[in-house]
């Protein structure tokens, strides 16, 4: 994504920093890439990646549904008018409130364990999540289909859960698999879908195969789509997918301003964003591409650190940058997914504003918080 530099300077001047900036063109392009690869599969956006109402409304208008994993996410979907077949309610430990809201809205539930069959509201539509117990090419914290992960039922449990759903009067639509997030190797999906198709003889034909999300930004999308379609065909099923990151990551960048520099054991450039705005480098060792919006005659190797009173508050290490100075601006890319969504108010830091670039101008998607927003629920 490349937003015009003068537009970025203007956004920083008008809306302040740190600031999440999004490019509407790249949002649309990502959905088009998904549709081109997956054909007529039904797309459910995993809104945990970025639940901003502006993004949700755009996606709903484009015919996309939502995967929700909390009462709050279901409430967001309801707030923008999504109902019925536009909603999936998922999660390994759903609350009574989530079952009730999902049922009231006519959502489909993703059943994560055998015991849940007895907890579902009467006559629910359900998919059974399968854990294929695979090692996948991503960070350990992002692997959900591994042997030790808490998600889904074992392949051996699948016929029993499908049978229990049917005897309890629910509609067992089919199977669901989501092996993790930011997965680089398309072969991991081939293995996961293969594990499901191995169940074909015991399950018989199914209505839906939900192939989840988890596609790394550089993964072979066409290859993943081909394997997912093949698996759905094996069951005579319709294909559903649940991308989060892929739909929004590249559209979003975190714009931050240089507060100053210091040269101690290392060269630090201190910026006004940190772990409260972009947690992924600290939590997963994620590397977000950095773009400096200035030029300088000399360049150096810099660590980019934030303002928090924690030594882990380092956004990037060993980045080659033109030598920075106070007031200059830099961008962390691929931050549209799990960036703003995982920002926090730790240290009573106000979460940043979010702005969208469309038709040559910025619109505010979320205003910058003020400290009063943060303590407003306190006595």
Site for ligand LLP contains 67 (CB under 6 A)? yes
Site for ligand LLP contains 336 (CB under 6 A)? no
Find the shortest distance in angstroms from Cβ 180 to ligand LLP: 7
Nearer to ligand LLP (CB atom), residue 117 or residue 340:
340
Q: Which residues contact 174 (CB under 8 A, 6 or more apart)?
A: 127, 128, 206, 207, 208, 209, 210, 235, 237
Which window, 30-38, 228-236, 301-309, 336-344, contacts ligand LLP (CB under 6 A)? Answer: 336-344
Site for ligand LLP contains 213 (CB under 6 A)? yes
Shortest-Cβ-distance residue relative to ligand LLP: 244
Nearer to ligand LLP (CB atom), residue 182 or residue 228:
182
Site for ligand LLP in 127-156 (CB under 6 A): 142, 144
SS3 208: strand
Contact 129, 151 (CB under 8 A): yes
Instruction: Out of 20, 338, 357, 362, name the contact with ligand LLP by CB under 6 A.
Output: 338
Site for ligand LLP in 4-63 (CB under 6 A): 46, 48-49
Count the residues of the shown chain that bind ligand LLP, applying the rule CB under 6 A. Answer: 24
Site for ligand LLP contains 214 (CB under 6 A)? yes
Q: What is the dihedral of CA 358, 76, 39, 126, to 10 degrees?
A: 180
Q: Within 10 A of 16 (CB to CB), how many other CB atoms are there?
A: 14
Instruction: Out of 212, 252, 281, 336, name the contact with ligand LLP by CB under 6 A.
Output: 212
Beta bridge partner(s), residue 42: 240
d(CA 90, CA 376): 30
Phi, psi at residue 39, to the nearest 5°?
A: 60, -125
Site for ligand LLP contains 250 (CB under 6 A)? no
d(CA 68, CA 156): 27
Centroid of chain to Cα 124: 26
Q: Is the dihedral of CA 57, 63, 69, 71 positive or negative?
A: positive
Question: For this structure, is 68 an active site residue?
Answer: no
Nearer to ligand LLP (CB atom), residue 51 or residue 213:
213
Instruction: Out of 23, 73, 188, 242, name the contact with ligand LLP by CB under 6 A.
Output: 242
d(CA 226, CA 169): 34
Site for ligand LLP contains 181 (CB under 6 A)? yes
List the structure tokens of 78: 């309801």
Find the shortest distance in angstroms from Cβ 167 to ligand LLP: 26
Find the shortest distance in angstroms from Cβ 225 to ligand LLP: 13
- Cα end-to-end distance, the chain, whole Å: 44
Instruction: Out of 18, 145, 174, 244, name the contact with ligand LLP by CB under 6 A.
Output: 244
Beta bridge partner(s), residue 69: none
Which residue of the set 309, 360, 376, 378 is catalytic? 309
Site for ligand LLP contains 288 (CB under 6 A)? no
Q: Is the dihedral of CA 312, 315, 319, 321 positive or negative?
A: negative
Site for ligand LLP in 84-113 (CB under 6 A): 90
Site for ligand LLP contains 306 (CB under 6 A)? no
Phi, psi at residue 133, to the nearest 5°?
A: 55, 60
Nearest to 248 by CA among 341, 143, 360: 341
Nearer to ligand LLP (CB atom), residue 247 or residue 258:
247
Site for ligand LLP contains 246 (CB under 6 A)? yes
- Residues tagged active-site: 309
Residues near ligand LLP, by CB under 6 A: 46, 48-49, 67, 90, 142, 144, 178, 181-182, 212-215, 242-246, 280, 284, 337-338, 342
């Amino acid at each position: 994504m490349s937003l015009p530099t003068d537009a970025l300077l203007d956004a920083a001047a008008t809306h302040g920093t740190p600031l999440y900036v999004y490019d509407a063109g790249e949002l649309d392009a990502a959905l088009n890439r998904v549709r081109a690869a997956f054909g007529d599969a039904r797309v459910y956006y995993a809104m945990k990646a970025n639940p901003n109402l502006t993004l949700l409304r755009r996606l709903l208008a484009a015919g996309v549904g939502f995967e929700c994993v909390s009462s709050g996410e279901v409430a967001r979907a309801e707030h923008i008018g999504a109902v019925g077949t536009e909603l999936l309610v998922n999660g390994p430990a759903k609350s009574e409130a989530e079952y009730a809201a999902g049922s009231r809205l006519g959502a489909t539930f993703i059943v994560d364990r055998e015991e849940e069959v007895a907890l579902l509201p009467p006559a629910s539509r359900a998919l059974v999540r399968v854990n294929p117990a695979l090692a996948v090419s991503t960070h350990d914290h992002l692997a959900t289909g591994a042997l030790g992960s808490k998600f889904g039922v074992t392949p051996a449990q699948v016929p029993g859960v499908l049978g229990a759903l049917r005897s309890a009067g629910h509609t067992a639509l089919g199977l669901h698999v989501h092996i993790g997030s930011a997965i680089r190797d398309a072969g991991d999906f081939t293995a996961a879908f293969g594990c499901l198709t191995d169940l074909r003889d015991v399950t018989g034909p199914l209505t839906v195969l939900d192939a989840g999300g988890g596609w790394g930004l550089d993964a072979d999308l066409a290859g993943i789509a081909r394997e997912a379609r093949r698996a759905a065909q094996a069951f005579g099923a319709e294909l559903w997918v649940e991308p989060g990151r892929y739909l929004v990551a590249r559209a979003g960048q975190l714009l931050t301003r240089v507060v100053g520099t210091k040269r101690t054991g290392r060269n630090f450039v201190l910026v006004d964003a940190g772990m409260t705005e972009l947690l992924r480098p600290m939590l997963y060792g994620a590397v977000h591409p950095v773009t400096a919006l200035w030029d300088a005659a000399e360049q150096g190797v810099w660590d980019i650190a934030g303002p928090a009173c924690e030594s882990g508050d380092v956004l990037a290490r060993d980045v080659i940058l033109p030598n920075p100075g106070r007031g200059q601006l830099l961008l962390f890319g691929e931050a549209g997914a799990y960036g703003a969504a995982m920002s926090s108010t730790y240290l009573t830091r106000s979460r940043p504003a979010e702005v969208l670039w469309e038709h040559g101008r910025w619109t505010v998607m979320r205003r910058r918080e003020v400290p009063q927003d943060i303590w407003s629920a306190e006595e």
